[in-house]
Copies of this chain bind each other. A is one copy, B any other.
Amino acid sequence: MATRLSDVAARAGVSVKTVSNVINDYPHITARTRAKVEAAIAALDYKPNVSARSLRKGRSDFIALAIPEMGSPYFAELGAAISRAAKRRGITVLIDQTEGESAAERFVLDGMRGQLIDGIIFSPLATAPAKLTSADTGKPLVLLGERPAGGQFDRVAVDSVQASYDATTHLISLGRHRIAAIGVGGTGTGVVRRKGYRKALKAAGMAHDPALELAGTGYHRLDGAASMRELLALPEPPDAVFCFNDLLALGALRTLADAGLRVPADVAVVGFDDIEDGRYHSPSLTTISPDKEWLADNAVALLLDRIAGNGGSTHRDLTVPYTLEIRESTGG
């Protein structure tokens, strides 16, 4: 039913090797031969069988992207960018939602779908990267995000401590005195960003108040809204909030609106991620904006380089450029 390489060879009057050479762009083929083969390919509408090719070559030109959830705007935008970056290089990305701990871990440890994929870009949520060993995967892996890689893998991440420092310092420069943080806790993002937050307070000679550091159960609007309600119930509510991602900030803004408070007059709000929602929200959201295209492009390049056998045993740690986008939620 499906046309095979040998059908093309027969029609073009050459050997299968020659057809394969043409398809794989090998040199030393006369223009005439190439034209004949290409005509046959077009006439038969031939498509190489990826399974066979991958079985034989041991490479598929597929990479996996494992992210906690693709319904979350930041990851959706990141996934889209990585998908594009890979496509530019002739690579296809399979996107995996890991959702919770067990699934994420199993995915990585299960060796990523047999031999199908050449490598993986992994944004861990539950799995501690430091506990991953290359034996677990058996394949090239690039880590995304805050969590220390334990020197085992290549990684590309924002300098979250510095970015959080900048975000908090911006709030301080506005003259705010009670600056809350939403999203502390956990083992990754929450820890690292709190570090930058506290560092900025300290640098300004301000003490950090545990009552102003809210943990919540997740990084969604719902959690931001709930944390903000807790903060407003405090005897002395904050006049500024640094939310560890935009979704939390959007939830917090919702609570502030419900409470009839003005942003930024009563409470200034900063987020992290620069998702599209925040740019169009009223008030628009001041946020840390990591360069997602840069991130995507470099993560893919790093992985492909590793797949090609380069890099050796030194593990590279790339720092994603970011800017602080000052918008209405802090009076910008």
Contact = CB atoms under 8 A, between A and B. Distances in A.
B60 A71 contact: no
Given A79-B70, A95-B95, A50 B282 contact: no
Instruction: Name the 10 nearest CB pairs between A and B, nearest first.
Output: A76-B76, A257-B282, A50-B114, A71-B80, A51-B55, A51-B54, A221-B280, A50-B116, A51-B51, A49-B115
A229 interface: no
A188 interface: no
Given A50-B51, A221-B276, 4 more contacts: A51-B116, A70-B95, A92-B94, A221-B279
Contact of A51 (B92, B114, B250, B258): B114
B60 A69 contact: no
Contacts of A115: 2, 47, 49-51
23 contacts: A48-B114, A50-B116, A51-B51, A51-B55, A51-B60, A55-B55, A69-B80, A71-B79, A71-B276, A73-B73, A73-B76, A76-B76, A80-B97, A83-B95, A94-B95, A221-B279, A221-B280, A225-B280, A251-B280, A254-B281, A257-B282, A258-B282, A282-B282
A277 interface: yes
Interface in A89-143: 92, 94-95, 97, 110-111, 113-116, 138
Interface residues of A, number: 48
Contacts of A308: none
A50 B113 contact: yes
Interface string A57-95: 000100000000111110011011001100000001011
